[in-house]
Amino acid sequence: MNYLAHAWLARHSDDAILGALLGDFVFGQSTLADWPEPVRVEIVRHRRIDRYTDDHPSVADARGLFDAAGLRRYAGIVLDVYFDHCLARGWGRWNDAPLGAFTARVYRILEARDAELPPRLAALAPRMAAHDWLGSYAQRDSVDRAVRGISTRLSRNGDKLVACLGVLRANEDAAQAAFEAFFPELLQAAGAMLEE
């Protein structure tokens, strides 16, 4: 899952939302000690959610859509972004509060905790808010924009990530079906992780 889904799965507290977003920016076990427990717990949960997602049969099948093009290695990134689009597009199905209210909350948290953010997230957060990255996922073109942006941050093979967009367009119904099969099960698994 990508930023929107991770933040939403952590909506039970502001510290949890921060931890969910930090999951892609804080690495290793030793760095966890730098964060208060509620944030630390959510960083670890983020990692577990990523593993659950990668291992889910529906997601694995969706990655297989990219095999013929030799792009399976990059498919997970594209699917994560696309799944955020599926969540945003069907927001009302999963949440009573408007998407804009939730994304505004996320941006407020990032702004309020700016001094604590790792440099990469600190640089990204103002752009994320200014361009409403999370809310923009409701529009399909945002998937392409986000993937192209990610491709520029890869140390190599960014062109292969961009090439995945054509495969995704050609198989969008199957990717949507994978989300529909996977996401309700993720909700149950992520809820169980909270209770452990």
State pLDDT tens for residues 152-192. Answer: 887 777 889 899 999 999 999 999 999 999 999 999 999 89
pLDDT of residue 33: 81
CA distance 109 to 78: 26
The 10 Å Cβ neighbour count of residue 92 is: 10
Q: How far is CA 81 from CA 17, 41, 119, 169, in A?
A: 18, 24, 22, 13
Q: Give the mean pLDDT of 14-26.
A: 93
pLDDT of residue 1: 62
CA distance 58 to 68: 18
Q: How far is CA 87 from the centre of its chain?
A: 10
Residue 143 contacts residue 154 (beta carbons within 8 Å): no
pLDDT of residue 26: 85
| pLDDT band with cut points at 50, 70 and 90 for residue 137 | very high
pLDDT of residue 30: 67
pLDDT of residue 195: 78
Q: Give the mean pLDDT of 113-139.
A: 94
| Each residue's pLDDT tens digit, 32-52 | 888 999 999 999 999 999 999
